[in-house]
Amino acid sequence: MAAAWVLDDVILVDGTGGAPVPRSRVVVEDGVIVSVGSAATPPVAGAAVVEGRGRWVLPGLWDTHMHHRFSAGGMLWPEEFREEQLLLNWRAYLAAGVTSVVSIGDDPTTTVAARAAEQDGALVGPRVFAAGSLFTAPGGHPVGTVLRNPAVRVGDLAIEVGHPVEARRRLRLQCEQHGIDLVKVVYSSIPGGGPRLGREVLDALVEEARLLGRRVFAHVSTFEEAAECVQAGVDGLEHMVVKRGTPFDPAELRVG
């Protein structure tokens, strides 16, 4: 049997929706949880014991919307940007209990390299699911907004596409080059009526993503944009959705 260690006398939240379980014991072998039970059960022979003393244990948290390079000052504070801060931030996620993150639009060389390093054990950090560069209209957000500042340092954040054929080609290329896990599209106008992806381009990206086995997530701002994305088959909506400034029933977005 592989070397084991035991986390003893903890209050367990198992993620099933049940009540917290006091005086629990968690047994780990070779980095994998193999059993969860009462602290009153016989101890595991030869296992190292970590006394929980009534502390709480719960499943790892997910951050399902993050832009990792931004968190090192690449966008908001470009004058303070430091590459080494990126590495420190991966560790910070674990310290906060976050064990999985979804990079929903970042320079792919940064996040894909981190994903590989974590999988190889070279990086102490959360599991990384990477969208790579996001897809937007020529001059659309964020190209026509935050990236207008030449000091911003976020790498290849956006891919500008204006035609369905080009959109399909660039998506296939990103999958081939970086092995992205999901696809991020910006289907939202810049405030004041800036460029937005055409519906035919959105449809092409969703269809191509399906062929490539990827899910699609869309940056939207309005109810109308959200509804069109749902009709196109987008899997998830990012950011707050407003229906002419008033709340709405999410059931209104259901297809059919």
Q: Which CB contacts under 8 angstroms, 24+ apart, belong to 208-212? A: 208/167, 208/168, 208/171, 208/172, 209/171, 209/183, 212/171, 212/172, 212/175
**Domain limits at 137?**
61-253
- 36 and 151 share a domain? no
Q: Which two tokens stand for residue 241?
A: 């959705």
- 114 and 51 share a domain? no
Q: Which has more pLDDT, 214 or 91?
A: 214
pLDDT score of 256 more than 70: no
At residue 70, φ and ψ (nearest 5 deg) are -60, -35
Pairing between strand 48-51 and 56-57?
unpaired
Q: How far apart are CA 198 and CA 215, in angstroms?
A: 19
Most confident of the ranges 80-94, 190-204, 207-221: 207-221
CA dihedral for 31, 35, 36, 37, sign (positive or negative): negative
- 117 and 82 share a domain? yes
pLDDT above 70 covers what percent of the chain? Answer: 88
The three-state secondary structure class of 98 is strand
Q: How far apart are CA 42 and CA 18, in angstroms?
A: 24
User: Distances in Å between the alpha carbon of 214 and those of 136, 189, 237?
Assistant: 17, 24, 15
Mean pLDDT, the chain, as a whole number?
87
- 139 and 192 share a domain? yes
Give the number of domains in the chain: 2
Q: Which two tokens stand for residue 225?
A: 């944009």
In this prediction, residue 37 carries a pLDDT of: 83
Peptide bond into 195 cis (omega under 30): no
- 99 and 203 share a domain? yes
Q: How far apart are CA 218 and CA 135, in angstroms?
A: 9
CATH number at residue 9: 2.30.40.10
- 53 and 82 share a domain? no
In this prediction, residue 1 carries a pLDDT of: 46
Separation of CA 8 from chain center: 32
Q: How far apart are CA 188 and CA 195, in angstroms?
A: 8
Tens of pLDDT along 159-198? 999 999 999 999 999 999 999 999 999 999 876 678 999 9
In this prediction, residue 152 carries a pLDDT of: 63
In this prediction, residue 153 carries a pLDDT of: 60
In this prediction, residue 255 carries a pLDDT of: 62
Helix 199-211 and helix 164-178, axial crossing angle in degrees, nearest 10: 40
In this prediction, residue 85 carries a pLDDT of: 76
Q: Which two tokens stand for residue 87?
A: 């590495």
- 70 and 126 share a domain? yes
- 44 and 132 share a domain? no
Tens of pLDDT along 13-56? 988 899 999 999 999 988 888 888 887 777 778 889 999 999 99
CATH number at residue 184: 3.20.20.140
**Average pLDDT over every residue of 67-74:** 67
Lowest-confidence segment of 3-7, 113-117, 180-184, 191-195 by average pLDDT: 191-195
- 156 and 225 share a domain? yes
- 113 and 234 share a domain? yes
- 70 and 158 share a domain? yes
